[in-house]
Amino acid sequence: MSVYQSDQQLYDVMGTAWERAFGDATVREKFIGLQIYVQFKIHEPAAELWLLSDATVHRGAFAGTPDKPVVSMEMKADVAHRFWQDRLNVPLATAKGEIKAKGPVTKIFGLIPLVKPVKALYPGLCAQHHIAEG
């Protein structure tokens, strides 16, 4: 059983974390500077989260979805949960196929500094939505 009970719960936590992070002008400007679309494809439960080039977050597929994201990250919800808790060895998870990352390495590396503020918000959102540490 996944740590997330539904796709809506996943959106409420992960989507909100990114939205709040983009509320910080520095994070927002750095993301906009990357000029990318990022797609998170999550499984168990199935969910799709898009970070659009203007630093907005879209939950699920939508009219106008880019045909191909610049960066795509695919994983199970429990893997994403461990990542956001900073409890995942990313190189090992990638080597084992638990995380599938596609896109230019420079763009993926450009996202790394933006992950820290999202990770800082994640535990509080999990507590608010009654999600166990896992």
Fold classification of 7-128 (topology level): Nonspecific Lipid-transfer Protein; Chain A (3.30.1050)
Q: State pLDDT tens for residues 101-131.
A: 999 999 999 999 999 999 999 999 999 999 9
> What span, in angstroms and rounded, lies between the C-alpha atoms of 68 and 71?
9
Other beta carbons less than 10 A from residue 15's beta carbon: 21
> Domain limits of the chain?
7-128
Per-residue pLDDT, averaged over 97-103, amounts to: 96
Return the pLDDT at 75: 97
This model's pTM is above 0.85? yes
| 3 state DSSP class of 42 | strand
| Half-sphere exposure in the Cβ direction for 75 (13 Å, CA) | 22
Q: State pLDDT tens for residues 24-61.
A: 999 999 999 999 999 999 999 999 999 999 999 999 87
In sign, the C-alpha dihedral spanning 40, 87, 18, 117 is negative
Return the pLDDT at 1: 67
